Every structure is written in structure tokens, then in C-alpha cells.
Structure 1
């Protein structure tokens, strides 16, 4: 089970790396992930909370089980602002005193070098006291042998301060050389470094808070109070006190407090905050309402079905938080660099100092270069490059009805080359209705109604609804059986009655050519014919149709324009599937596939790259889980959230297109951030070290180095916020996916002992359960299994999988 903690005291990527390393060493901790952006940590395992918190504290930070003290955070934020304001005021005074004369400003009594130096010392010490956090945190981290950004700042500021203090002491000891030593003072650099870095951290924090705006907006959707019925009276209670089956009342303009079902009244509901659809949805008795939605008009009563953490809104918030705090695979390089970054910078600064001295540079110049190296280096930009983009994307997705399970899903979605759709409830509305009835018996509809009333299949429900509208009599039935993917049977009035597809009924009764022609005609029109027989006599045919979603055609066209291969994978017969495809126009149509066979097709598609499967999250669960990315349409059900890696809250196919656009734009921003973070340090550190001085005459003052460092993280966060401005509906900037097939690896196993189709299935299942096997084509007549691999799998592993099923492997090619 995943557990979450709040972590306090982290200031850069090196800090989060230290915490992660410390907790990973705790026995019983697995899948540890620390987020600098959200100051949180998630993990799995059996280790106790006390051991985990103790490990964090040993690393020099503090932690507690998820649920940080908001008051403490607010107080810390207010202290930072006060500290910043005072630091800026003191810095302005300091710069005026130290540099005013250089730009022709009157400095009065401060023209006296001794007085000037003394005041500078006082001002820099005051700013150091105000920003002592850098020194305390940096020193502790250094002593723990896990230096962080604060270590770099404190080392740079301390070196400049100590050097200035020594120069000032010499100035007082040798008054005749006061002018010379006065120009060796770097007090203003100390004040500027600390103040500008505090400015940068403040800007960074403000920008980081903006990345969580979407989550904050979701939290505000749930009202604190609600009106419920208690003992026949209307009572206002806290939402947390509502229980399942309580009756709550919705007035116009009020937010739905918990998930429920309408028991009285009807009206429109604004579900844009949940599904991303701006058009209000009309709802009446028997229909569900979702927590956080707004009742647009009329008074409505509803019965609570889900409360507390079980509501759809609570699950959405949980998913968004989990996705935002997870790590994308692309961030691994940055994490590795961050773990060694600070020690490397300290070494580079030391080498810089020594090298300049060996090249006969003045001590002050060598020190200036070393300090510049320390303060320009920024591990924070590296640490924030990926998580800020993931946080913004998760929030942007939630606003538009797209819920990503984790960061890896966002990255994988952007790299998918094939997208596979289920038909019913995905490309179509899933709202089945009877459109034709061909009867050969007066009691036909009663038999059909009675038989299908025992089934849970969507087609059966359509038949029942149609029969109820016709006031059809319900007969007595016994021995009902549902045959998956085929049909149903039961004993009615002493006779066995069958119902199902043409294929199924043809196994029970030889159908006349005229009947088959009628069924073919219905199928070509996109209708699904169901046949019913009793005592070897055809009772009649019912044709059922499912309406294609309004946006299916345009969505598939947009996906093609984005370079994705589109596939329709359906259990319907070939003619019905082709009728749908004549309108929607997929690249490929595969029909007549049973639910348990869809997973095998997904495996085969994965030979060509990453695959997205879009389904309803219920019948398609194996395929959704097998696909690299599973998208469940009309999310909110436990089955959908459990089996899919992306839950689409809207009822439109275009939401899937938006999810792909969002993931692509997010990956682009992450790459930009990582590029900026690496290039900034690759150019900034050599520039600060003075490497470009002999060639181009370029050098960098420590004060400007601190300014660059303070703005680097701010730039990364600000760039990530651009995702909020991205139009998910705009197809003008779509680019074609550069489709590159993965290397195809095949092995042929020669197997003895297979005698029939059942043997084939056993061997096929055993092989396809092996990690790395994409698909296995088994033939008992040829005595072979052709195995397609998506990664290297040893012959011994394949052989063992087959021999565990009591067959012999004689050779592997």
C-alpha cells in the first residue's frame, strides 16, 4: 500500500536526493519517491512510520505522515517575505554606501574609508543574520557529507565575508594603505548574493504555488456545508457529517456536496469542473450527480451514494496529487546529476581558486572566481525541470476531464504510435436501442423479453427496454445460462429457448438463405441482429443499433493527422464493424474479437512501439492493463480507475486526443527545462571560473552570478506554467509522430506433446505470461511456438515456461 509523508527543510534537488537515499536504506521501504516541488514523499513497504521519519531526520530534515500543518507553512511564508523586504532595504543602503561615489552620488561622511568599511561590515552582518538559514542548513548538510544548494551559497558568502574582514583588518593595521585594502572589500557581494538568492527563491516559491492552482481549485469545489433532511426537516450540516443514504437538497446555484442519485426533481448541472465539458447536462430522477458539480436550476433532492474519500471528486484530487508527486522516466538523468552536482561544484571552485593562484593572479581575483562558481551553480533548476511540468500538466488535465495516474504515463502517452479503440461505449455512445423487429411468431417478443431479462449484457437491456415500452408479458424461465461472447439460453414453458448472434444460432439451427440475407442487410447498415429460436423454430429477429458519438469521426481524423495508427478492435461482426468504419474511417478494423482475445492483439501491436488502448474500463480491463497506456472513457467507476492509466471523465473521444496533445506539450516543456538547466550550468560554471577570460575577455562578478542563479529556477518554473495556456482543442500545431518500429526478435520453440487446440492455448498462455514476450503463435500440428519478444529473454526461461505445462522443448531456434 502506498504511503505518503510531508517533508520539511528541502531547498534543492540535492536535498531531495539525500532524503530519498536515506529512506531507501530503511529496511522494508520500496519505490521511494521524493518530490521537491510538493515537499512530499511517497513509498511502499512494511517499515514503520517512526523508522521512516527517523531516517529523514538523520538526513537533516523533518517529516510527518501526510497532513502538514498549514499554519506552520503560512508562518514560514510570512517570515520569508519579511526577511526579503528587510534584506532588500538593507541591500539598497549597502550598495549606495559602497558604490554611490563610483557613479557620482553624494555619500557625505561615508567617503571616509574606515567609517564606510565599518558600516558595510554591519550591514552585511545584518543581512547574514536575516538569512542565516542558508548557513545553518548548508553547514549541517556539509557535516553530513551531503552538501546542498545552501552549502554552495554559505561557502561562497562566507569566503567573501572572511576575505573582506581580513582586508578590513589590514586597512586598520596599515592606515597608509587603507585605499588599497578598501578596494579589496567584498561585503556588498555578500549582501547581494544572499538577498538576490532569497529573491529568486521567493519568486520560485510563488511560481511553484501557481502550479498547484488546479488542485486548489478542485479542493474548493466541495462545499463545507450542505442541506440534508433529518426527521422530515431541512438541516444544514458539515459535508463531512453526511452519510451514505442521507437525503440532501440542492438549490439553484449550489454545489453538489457528495456523489448521489436524484430521487426528486430534474434540472441542468454544470459538470465542467469534473469533465471539462462546458455545456450543462440535463439530469432527472434515477441519474447520478457528482460531488463538486453545480446545480444550475430548480430544486432537487438526491440520495447520497458515496461520501468522504469515496466521492468522485476526492478520487480525482488523489489521482492528481499522486501524478504530480511521481517521477517521469526522463527525469532519471537529472536525478543522477543532482546527486553528485554539489560536491562536484565545490571541487571545481577549489580547482578554480588554486589554478588562478598558480597563474599568478591576485588573491582577490582568484577568490572572486571561486565564489562566482559557487553561487552561479544551480542544482534546483535540474531538480525542478521535470516535476513542475508534471504538476502543471496534471492540473491542466484535471480541469479538462483528463486524469493521469502518474508521470510515466504522461511521458509514455506522448511517445505512443498506435491507438486502439473499443467500439461500444467508446466510439459509440453505448446506449443501445432496438431499431427493427422481424417476427415469425405471435409470442416472439415475450420469449425474447423473458430470456434477455436474465442477462446483464447491454444488448439484453436494450431488448428489455423495448419490450417494456410495448407492454410485453414476462414468462417464467428456468435454467438460464449466459455463454460469453455467444448468446443465452433458458427453459421457458418447458421448451429450451436460445438467443444470440447469427454465428451462435447457426450452431443450433440451420438458417434459411433468406434469413441470412436479412441479417447481412441489417449488419451492413451497422445494426446488430439478434436471433431467437425455440424447438428448432426461428421465433424472430431483433436488430439493435448503437449511435456513433458526434466527435468520433473528427477525433480519429485528428489522431491520424498527429501520425498515430488508429485501430478499431470490436467484438461485433465484420459487417457491423465495417459499417461503423465507413463513417469514422480507422486505419485498421479487427472484428469478432472476444473480450479475452483483445489482450493478445494489444501484445501484437506492441511489436511496433507503444500502444494506447481506449475502452470503457470494464469489459476491456485486460486489454487496458496490457497496453502501455490504458484510457478509460466515462471515468469515475472503480473499475475504470483500477484498470486504466488515464481516466477520461468526459463522454467524448476528443478527450483522448486532448490527453495526447497535453502529454506531447508537457514532454516538450520538460525537454526545454532540462536543456536550459544543463546548458545554464555548462556555460555558467566555466564563465564564472574565468575560462573564457583569456579568449573573449568575458568574466562574471559574483553579484551577477548570484542574480543568474536566483533567476534560473524561476525561469524553469515559469516555462512550465506555459502548459496552462495550451489549447487542448487546437489541432493547428499538431505534428506527426515519427514512427520507429522496435527491433523485432523472434524465437522458434520446437515442442513435443501437444495434441490439440487445448494444448496450444495452454502453451500460448504460459509463454505470453513471461515478461518480455509480446506474442506467441503456437501450432500443435507443426509442433512449434513462434515467440515474438520485445526484450531479451533467455532460452532457459522460455523452456521452463513450456515444460512447467508438462510439454517437452526439443530445440530453440
Structure 2
């Protein structure tokens, strides 16, 4: 039964030329499935497609002559479900139940496989240990594994067969079924017979429970790989989901004549998706701005950290442009929508992240190509082996044993374990070092990285404002100034206010109470402290002795607030985001490894230059006032120059650049969306972990490459031996297990990598 969702009437017609269609695809299990879907879609005239197995999405470029229904039908004819999804729609919630079912199958397989393997080995090597009805015990342990636990492979293989295709599931299912059937025949044939061989004779000329442990082992190993893959896939759509949460579901739409003032307006809550260009809507304190627009009236501080990454809110008033995803604090705004839907900066960021995730890595492309021919080739070799032995006069048992050995020896256990085991060991080692390795994309890219793009706030700096200096007019006590300013700011929630209060409390202890506190949107705060009228806010007209100091501080990229007492300027307070010593050490470490550091920030040029000088980044590699689109553009420009780029960031505004870079590295204290978009996450609050992460990733990549070379080489060498009859199925299973053991052992060497 088709699972395609009903499509709106307009999608059934031909769409404009050059359009991009996004499809949600179900039923894919491996790289061969991805390749098959892409090939089927590309057979349509003018269609290009990129399929992402992790997110189960396909981004399709189609001309006007190919409607959406035809795209869906093409995918369904390939044996998979498909439906059209909106370009800016977030991925659906993870299928937690599917992962849980896979975990249960793996647990059952492990519980039964371990005693089955021990028992089969003992009975094969020492037939005298066989007891009455031992065949039933062996079968009872094996059949639930090769039947129920392996059912997803059998179901996929049957589905492939119906559509005349093959995949890794076909090979796994065929190997399991062949080994099981051969073993059951052998068990029935030997029932009640005395043992005729022991020791190596039982191995070289086996009679008994030959391959049930092999079939169960294949099932268990492949299920383990699928389980870890499914866990990773659950998180793959987290970037778009986290970004989508920045968009409010509803908005307060104003209906009325704007020339008559807001008093005549009618306010109505409507879904944010219905907003159109020119609509006017209200943003109250604490609400997110729904679309990009311009402030018509009102004043407020706007927390832009989601888009710029900077911790200091900006002041918005009439004529100020605002963007979707930011938060209004401390005031009410009336905004006129300028860009809505897919045209907003936030929607473009979501699209950039999804496009970047759809790109295939070099290893994935290699696996796609190999998978497209590997399974059919193995089946042809197995069939050829069977026919060849029969034509050469070999007995049916000998011919079938050689063919089964080919299928079993070709099962991709070592290949399937090559990457997951290295990743698991590297993940454990990384956890000890404060690093989270998320996938092979990082590991295969890091060796080629030559440029590291570093965000400023929260990456090179602490990410929080701190008081950096206090200056007063003559005859004013700095302690008194700080005490009064702290008292007023204690009633405010502004980021600058929190820094002033924290510093004043540390320096002076308990602060006096403020009376008559008033927030001044866009200006600051006001209150009465110890009988004096105190205002903390923007520095306006200042005495000469303070103006010079303010110019000096602002030239160094610091934020300055002025304090007036009873209407007269009393002093100024400078705030800065400190640069820890570890940042300079990290930059030096990157240079020592041949990497070029680049500073990229949404902050002012002065602030960027100050931080760059503190950590040792050249002025030519400093880029300031960069919005999310600008960050992506710089990353793409560097890549266009032939550089392999790693991006390090911690904010929502960094997510698109993290995904667009060859290697994305997030700081663990950052926003969830940045952590999802990155390939490596630095959990430790120390940028020197970046250098350690580079070392660990390089070591892990080398291990994975070694594992893959062994896994491929093993199949290339073992298949001819099996086809020539030099490996019976039991030895083939043992060789397969040995190959997997070698891969795991090689991966375990990573436990001492990177600083060990």
C-alpha cells in the first residue's frame, strides 16, 4: 500500500521551470538505496537529485515538464514511499519507536547468539560432547535470531526482489537464509547418528550444527551497525527542528488604518504563516519577531544573539530593521513585515543548513558506487560457483557448500564495523578529553583542513559581559558611583545590567535598594538610590575628561554606559567580553599544525580587532559585522579559493556556516542548533580542546581508513578462496569473525590517541 500523502491540487500540475522540490522518502536502509533513488530520479529528463539517507529527504531540481506527482511515482516504483514536503518545513520528530524496536531486536539477538556460539563451537570441535536432542537446543537458540531478529533484512530483501533490485539487505538475508537452511538439513540428517569426527577433522569435514551460529552472528553484527546508524539518524534532523523553533506559531496582527494611529487598530492573533508583506504586527516584551521587517513605532531592546551571536542587545525604534527569530525585551514594538515565509533571513538559514547536510562526503560517495555493484557481483559469483562445481563433476553438497561459503564470506560485517567501531572508541576517548565526535564527515575532512574560521563571542571570548573599567568626574567616588549604578541595574534584566550588578556585588557586597525604578527602552534605566536620581544608559553629552576616556574604550571595542546623578554626569562604566588565556594557546596550537586561523564575528570592527590582537590572528584575517548570510558567504568564498575550511562557533547564527563548512566544530556551551549542525562538539570550556579534537579526528580517520582497507581486502582475497572450495562455510564464518575482530582491535588503539 502506498504511503504517499495526498497532495494539493496545485502540486499535481506542472510547476515553474527551475523549481526545487523536496521529498520525504521512507524505506531506505543503506547506501545502495540512496544510489537507486538518485538513479531513478535522474533518468527523468532534466531532473537532478541529491538524497540524504540520514534525514530521509531528497532535494530535487526539476523542470516545468516534470510534475511533483511524477517524481513521487518514480520513487515509489523504485520500492520506496515518498511525499512532497514544504521547502521550509522542519523535519518530522524522530521515530523513537523504530529505534526502540531495533534495540529490542539487537538485545534478543545478543542474548541468544552468545550461548549459541559457545555451544556450537564446543559441539563442532568435540563431537563426543553432543547430548540427546542437542539439535533441538541449537535450533531453539538460533531460529528466533535468524527469523524474528533478522526480519527487517528479510522484509527489505523481498521488497527489493519485487522491484527487481538488490541491496546490502539482500546479501545479508540471502546469507542468513542459506546458512540456516543448510544447517537445518544437516541437523536433520545427523539426528541419531554417532559422531564421526572430532577436532580439526570436524572443522575441515564438518557434520552437524555447521552454520547456525554463523547465521546468528551475521544477524547480530549487522543489527548492531543498524542500531547505531539509526541513533545517529534520529539526531540528523535536529538542526532544522531547532531552527524552526525560533519562529513563533502565532503573531498579533494589527488591522486598521496606520494613518489613524494605533488607537484605531484591531489586534487579532493569527498564525505567523499567514503574514504578508506590508502587514503590521505587534511584538511584546519576551516575544520572538515572526518575520523580517521594520519597526513602525515603539522602542525596545532586541536580543539578536540568535542571528548575530552577540550577547549585547541592540536598541530598536522607529525605522530600525529587525529580523525573524530575535526577541524583543523591555518594550513593545509595532513592526511592518518586509520579508515573509521562505524569504526571511531565518528561513534562508534553515535552507542553507539543509542544503549543506544533503552534500555527500567522499567516503559516502565511494560506498554508494561500490554498493551499486557489490551485491549483484557477489550473487553472480555465488551462482557461478554453484554451476561451476556441478559442471566440473563435483557433488551437490560440495557445490552448495562452496556457494554458501561465498555468500557468507562476502557478508559485509567487517565493512559495516569499520566506521562504527572507530567512531565508538573515538567517542569514548573524546568524552574523556572533552570532545564529542558526531560522525565520519568530520573524520574524513579534518586531515585536509587548512583554514580554521573562529567565531568571537563565546568561542574566543567567554561569551558574557564583564566590567572592564570605571571612570568618574572629579570629586566623585568610584565606589559610590558603582554602588548606585548597581542598585539601579539590579532591577533590570539587560545583559549589561547583569554584568554591572555582578561586578558591584563582588566589589562592594550588599547593594542599596532602588525606588521608583523605570526602564527606559532604548536608553537605559532610572531610579532613586539613597535619595539621588540615578540614570544608567547611553553616553550622550559628557565632560571632556570623560569623553576622551569613552572614545578610547570604544576604540578598543568596549561597550560604555554613562551614569548621571541628579541630572549631572558622574561617570562611565566600560564593559567587555574577556578573552581567556586558553584562546591564545589554542590559536598558537593551530598554527603549529599548519592551520590558518580566521576571525569571523557579528560584532564591531574595533571589538574584533581587539580580540584578534589578543589571540594572535592577523588583521587581514579579521571579518566583522557579519550576519549569518555573510558568514556562509565567507566560508563559501574560502572554499572557492581552494581551501578546506573548518568553522568553529557556538550560536544559532553560526549554524548555517557550521553546516556549510567542510568541518563544523561547535563549542559545547553554545546553542542547541549549533551543536546539532556541527560535526565535532567541544564539551570542555577551553578552546585548547579544539587542538586536541584535531589530533583525535586525524587519528580516527587514519584508523577508519585502515579498517576499510582491511575489510575490502579481506573480501577481495576471501571470495576466490571460498569459490574454489578451500573454505567451507564454517571456516568462512570464522574468517568473517576474525576480520571483524581485527577491525575492532585496530579501532581500540584509539583509546590512547590524542594526548594519551
TM-score by length of 2: 0.53
Of residues 550, 557, 560, the one that matches 1:530 is 560
Q: What does the per-residue CA deviation read over 1:726-781, in whole Å, with 9 as the maximum and x for residues that have no partner?
A: 44446xxxxxxxxxxxxxxxxxxxxxxxxxxxxxxxxxxxxxxxxxxxxxxxxxxx
Aligned mates of 1:477, 1:166 — CA distance in 2: 93
Residue 577 of structure 1 deviates from its aligned partner by 4.9
Contact 1:403 1:647 (8 Å CA) reproduced? yes
Aligned to 2:100, the other structure's residue is in SS state coil
Distance (whole Å) between structure 1 residues aligned to residue 730 and residue 590 of structure 2: 50
Correspondences of 1:111-260 after superposition (within 5 Å) = 131-132=142-143, 145=161, 147-152=170-175, 154-155=177-178, 188=206, 191-195=209-213, 198=216
CA contact (8 A) 1:157 1:190 kept: no
Q: Does 1:550 align with 2:576?
A: no
Q: How far did residue 340 of structure 1 move? A: 5.1
- Report the CA distance between 1:81 and its aligned residue: 3.0
Partner of 1:684 in structure 2? Answer: 718
CA distance in 1 between counterparts of 2:754 and 2:741 reads: 25
After TM superposition, the structure 1 = structure 2 runs for residues 450-465 of structure 1, keeping only pairs within 5 Å, are 453=489, 458-459=495-496, 461-465=498-502
Instruction: For 1:479 and 1:364, locate their aligned partners in 2 and report how far apart those are by CA, in whole Å.
Output: 91
Measure, in 2, the Cα distance between the counterparts of 1:715 and 1:572: 51
Q: CA deviation at 1:536?
A: 14
Larger Rg: 1
Cα deviation, 1:439-494, whole Å, max 9, x if unaligned, reads: 33768986994999498664554345456666687887675326xxxxx7999999
Alpha carbons 1:83, 1:131 under 8 Å: kept: yes
Separation (CA, whole Å) in 2 of partners of 1:358 and 1:659? 58
How do 1:354-753 residues align onto structure 2 when only pairs under 5 Å count?
A: 354-355=387-388, 369-398=402-431, 400-403=433-436, 408=441, 411-412=444-445, 415-440=448-473, 449=485, 453=489, 458-459=495-496, 461-466=498-503, 480-481=521-522, 499=538, 528=558, 530=560, 532=562, 540-570=571-601, 577=608, 580-587=611-618, 593-596=624-627, 598=631, 600-607=633-640, 608-617=642-651, 624=658, 627=661, 629-635=663-669, 637-638=671-672, 640-641=674-675, 646-690=680-724, 699-723=726-750, 725-729=751-755
Q: 2:113 aligns with which of 65, 72, 80?
A: 80
Contact 1:531 1:542 in 2 (8 A): yes
Taking a change above 3 Å as real, the CA distance of residues 141 and 631 of structure 1, as seen in their structure-2 partners, is closer
Q: 1:333 matched to which residue of 2?
A: 366
Q: Is the 8 A contact 1:163 1:185 kept in 2?
A: no
- RMSD over aligned CA atoms reads 6.4
Question: Cα distance, 1:642 vs. partner?
Answer: 6.4
Taking the aligned partners of 1:360 and 1:65, their CA distance within structure 2 comes to: 49
Displacement of 1:384: 3.3
Give 1:27-106 correspondences, 5 Å limit.
Answer: 33=53, 65-68=98-101, 74-94=107-127
Report how many residues are paired.
Answer: 537
Question: Residue by residue, what CA displacement relative to the aligned partner does 1:7-58 show, whole Å, maximum 9, x if unpaired?
Answer: 9xx9xx88x9679989x99xxxx97848xxxxxx97899xxxxxx9xx999x
User: Shift of the alpha carbon at 1:411?
Assistant: 4.7
Q: Distance in 2 between matches of 1:19 and 1:129?
A: 37
1:647 CA drift (Å): 4.4
Q: Distance in 1 between matches of 2:210 and 2:646?
A: 52
- Indicate conservation of the 8 Å contact 1:614/1:631, yes or no: yes
How far does residue 566 in structure 1 lie from its aligned partner after superposition? 0.8
Q: Distance in 2 between matches of 1:530 and 1:650?
A: 31
Range that drifts further, 707-716 or 394-403:
394-403
Residue 235 (structure 2) aligns with: none
Instruction: Sort the Cα spacing of 1:434 and 1:123 in 2 relative to 1 into closer, same or farther, 3 A.
Output: closer
Match of 2:695, SS state, is helix
- Counterpart for residue 259 of structure 1: none
Provide the rounded CA distance (Å) in 2 between the counterparts of 1:687 and 1:519.
81
Aligned counterpart, 2:384: 351
Unaligned runs of at least 5 residues, structure 2: 1-23, 41-49, 60-75, 82-94, 192-200, 233-358
For the residues of structure 2 that align with 1:212 and 1:633, how far apart are their CA atoms? Answer: 25
Corresponding residue for residue 290 of structure 1: none
- 1:477–1:450 CA distance, 2 compared to 1 (3 A): farther
CA separation in 1, counterparts of 2:118 and 2:647?
53
Seen in structure 2, the aligned counterparts of structure 1 residues 92 and 574 have a Cα distance that, compared at 3 Å, is same
Structure 1, unmatched stretches of 5+, are 35-40, 46-51, 98-118, 169-182, 215-325, 483-487, 694-698, 731-813
Aligned counterparts of 1:532 and 1:70: Cα–Cα separation in 2: 60
Provide the C-alpha distance between the structure 2 equivalents of 1:644 and 1:135, rounded to a whole number of angstroms: 38
